[in-house]
Structure 1
Amino acid sequence: MSEEPQTVTVGELARAVTEAGGIRCTPRMIRNYESKGLIAEPPRSSGGIRLYPAGDVERIVRIKELQREYDLSLAAIDHLLEKGDGEHPPPETSSLLIERRPTDHAPPPHEEKSRRARLVKAADRVLRAKGYGETTIEDIVSEAGVAKGTFYLYFNNKQELFLEVLRRAVRSLEEHLEEALDGVAPVDRLKRRALSYMRGYLNYRDLILILYGEAVGGNTRFQRELCNMYKSLTSTLSEDVKEVASRFENPAVDTELLSYALVGAGEMLAYRSTLDDRYDLEEIVFQAMGLISGEIAEPPPAGSDN
C-alpha cells in the first residue's frame, strides 16, 4: 500500500479538496487563501514550484464549508481559524455561527434565500438613502415588503443586517480585485486593480462611510469590521506590490504600508473624480501609478531623510 505524498502541487491540492469536500476548488482559490494568510505560504522546489503540505486539504475544506454554510467573509473566517482551533469557534464568533445556522422551523430553502435577499437589498437601499442612524427596522421591512417578524428570523438587530450588507459589498470589491490577470505585466496589473477598486469604491462609498462614522463613534464591532475589511482588500494588492518591487530590485519597499497607501489614495482620488469633469478615473490611475511606480523604481539615496 503506497503512502500518501507529504507535499502536493497547487493543482493536486485543488483536486484533493474537491474530492474530499465535494466543493469546487481551483488553484486560483488556493493562491487567494494563501495571499490572505488563511493557509501558510509553502516552500518551493528547486524549480520554483509551490509544494503544499498534504494536511492543507482538511483546512481548505473547512474554509469552503464556512463560506458555504455561514456566508462568512474570508476576513471573518481568518479570525475564526486564528482564534479557535479550526473546529470549535472562539466565544466571540460562536454566537455569529449559531445565528446563521438554519433552524428546524425555518422556511423552505428557496423561500429563506428569497426573503433574506429581499431584506439585504432593501437595507442597502434604505441605508444609502437615510443613513445608519435614521434607518429603522420598520423602514427596512416596509421597503422589503415583509412582516417585521420575518426580520428576526434572519437578524437579531439592525447592526447585524448592516454588517451583512457591508460584507457583501466587500466580497464584491474582492472579486473585482481578484479578477484573472494572468500574463499581465506587474505594473499594468497593479494599475488595473487600482482602477477596479476605485470604481467599486464609488459604488459602495455610502456604505463604507457609514462604517467609518460608526467606527469613529466608538462602536467596537464596527471598528473590528473596518480593520478586517482593509486587511482583506490590501492583501491582494500586496502581492502585486511585492512583485513590482522585486522587478525593480528594491527590497526597501514595505509592501503592507504601500498597499494601505494605495487603497487610501484610491479612495480619495475616486472621490476627486466626482467633483467635476476635469479628470476621469483612468487618467487619475495613469497619473497616480506613474508616481508610485517611480518611487518603487528609484529608492531614496542612503542616508536621505526624504
Structure 2
Amino acid sequence: MNNNAINMKIGDLSRISGISRSSIHYYIRIELLPPPEQKNGKIAYYGEEHLELLKQIKSMRDEGLSLYIIKQMLSNKVSKDISSLAVQKQKAPVTQIRDKETKKQMIIEAAAKIFSEKGYFQTNISDITDELGIGKSSFYLSYKNKEEVFLACIDNIFQDLWKEDFPKINRETDVASKLRMRGYAFLKAYPRIKDIVLLARAASVGAEDKTSHKIEDITAKIVSPVLKDLKILNSLGIYDKFDPELIAFAMVGAAEAIAYRLTMDDKYTLEDGFKTLDKINYFSPKLTE
C-alpha cells in the first residue's frame, strides 16, 4: 500500500482516525506504525497506510487486545483467525525473555503509554500488565511498585531527548551553532516526551521526595549542556551582563513553551517554531542592559 496516497499532517490523521497524537507517536516508536514521510526534512506527512493501520489498531483495541498481540497479528505472527478471547488469554513472551534489561524496557514502554493516557494516580499495576498481557508477578520481578517504573519512564525522557541529534551536535565546534542545533533537536523531540513531562510535573505535587528529586535531576540534565555552551559564550562577551544559569533556564523554558504550542494543532510547523526562536535572539544575541 502506498503510504503517500494521502498527505495528512498529524492533526488531520488524529481527527480522521479518532486516535490521539500521543498514541500515534507512541505507535511509531514501538514500530506498530511506519514513520511518516518528512518533506524537505521538516514537515511530517502521513498517508493511507497509516490511516488504515490505525483503523485496524482501534478496532482490535476495542476488542480488548493488548498492543503486543496486535503487533503480532499485524506482522502475521499470530493468526487473525484466532478468536479475540483466545488471543486475550495468550501471554506476551515478557516472562520468557531472559535478558532483564530487555524485559524492563518492554514494561517501561507499556507503562509510559498508560501513564500518558490515564495519568499517574489513576493508573494501576494491572493496567500495565494487561497492556502487555502478563501477570503481576512478572512485573514485580522487574519493578517494586508503580513509582519505581514511573521514575524509570522519566529517565527515558532524557535518554530520548537528543539521542538522534547528539552525535552531530557533539561534533559541532561553533558554540552558537551548537545552541541552534540543541534548540531544533528539542522542538523535534518534544512531541515524544510531552505527555510524560507534563505528567511528571503533576505527579511531583505532593509526591515523595524521590519523585521530586528525580524531576529536578532530569531538568538539570536538560539545562546542563545549554549552560555549558552559554558559559563559553559568556567568556567571549556574549550574555556577559547576565547570569548564564538563569539564561539557560529561560532558554529551555522558552523552547518548551513554543514546542508545546506546536503540538496543539497544525497551524505552525517545526520550522516556524525554530525561526521564532531565532528571531527573538534565542541563541546568541549580544544582550544589553
Query: Match of 1:142, as an amino acid?
Result: D
Which residue among 220, 230, 235 is the counterpart of 1:241? 230
1:279-294 maps to which residues of 2 (within 5 A)?
A: 279-293=268-282
User: Is the 2:262–2:268 Cα contact (8 Å) retained in structure 1?
Assistant: yes
Instruction: Note if 1:179 corresponds to 2:167.
Output: yes
Q: CA deviation at 1:140?
A: 0.7
Distance change >3 Å, CA 259–CA 179, structure 1 → 2: farther
Give the corresponding residue for 2:186.
197
Counterpart of 1:219 in structure 2 is 208
**Does the CA-based 8 Å contact 2:227-2:245 persist in structure 1?**
yes
Higher relative contact order (CA 8 A, sep 6+): 2
2:114 paired with 1:121: no
Counterpart residue type for residue 284 of structure 1: G
Moved more, 245-254 or 165-174: 245-254
- Paired letter, 2:214: E
The worse-fitting range, judged by mean Cα deviation, of 196-205 and 236-245 is 236-245
| Residues 242 and 231 (structure 1), Cα distance of their counterparts in 2 relative to 1, 3 Å cut | same
Supply the distance in 2 between the matched residues of 1:294 and 1:267 (Cα, whole angstroms): 14
Give 2:247's aligned residue. 258
CA apart distance, 1:191: 1.4
Contact 1:245–1:297 (8 Å) recurs in 2: no
Q: Which runs of 5+ in 2 are unaligned?
A: 1-94
2:258 match: secondary structure: helix
Q: CA deviation at 1:294?
A: 8.0
Report how far residue 200 of structure 1 moved.
Answer: 1.7
Contact 2:251 2:282 in 1 (8 A): no
1:186-230 per-residue CA deviation (whole Å, 9 max, x = no partner) reads 222211101111222221111111110011234322211111011
2:219 aligned to 220, 230, 250, which one?
230
Alpha-carbon distance in structure 1 between the residues aligned to 2:138 and 2:164: 33
Q: CA RMSD in A?
A: 2.4
Partners of 2:163 and 2:137 in 1: CA distance: 33
Name the CA distance, whole Å, in 2 between partners of 1:114 and 1:177.
24
Q: Deviations over 1:52-97 (max 9, x none)?
A: xxxxxxxxxxxxxxxxxxxxxxxxxxxxxxxxxxxxxxxxxxxxxx
For 1:1-306, list aligned pairs within 5 A. Answer: 110-176=98-164, 178-181=166-169, 182-183=171-172, 185-293=174-282, 296-300=285-289
Letter in 1 for 2:209: T
Q: Which amino acid aligns with 2:137?
A: G
Is the alpha carbon distance of 1:238 and 1:177 closer, same or farther for their aligned partners in structure 2, counting shifts above 3 Å? farther
Q: Aligned partner of 1:129: which letter? A: E
Q: 1:121 to 1:218 in 2, by over 3 A?
A: closer
Cα contact 1:120–1:164 (8 A) shared by 2: yes
Instruction: Name structure 1 gaps, 5 residues minimum.
Output: 1-106, 301-306
Deviation at 1:234, TM superposition (A): 0.7
User: What is the TM-score normalised by the length of structure 2?
Assistant: 0.60
Q: When the two structures are superposed, what TM-score results if normalisation uses the length of structure 1?
A: 0.57
Q: Using the TM superposition, name which of 128-137 and 108-117 deviates more.
A: 108-117
What is the number of residues matched between the two proteins? 194
CA apart distance, 1:241: 1.9
User: Does the C-alpha gap of structure 1 residues 232 and 276 become closer, same or farther in structure 2, counting only changes over 3 Å?
Assistant: same
Q: Distance in 2 between matches of 1:262 and 1:294?
A: 8
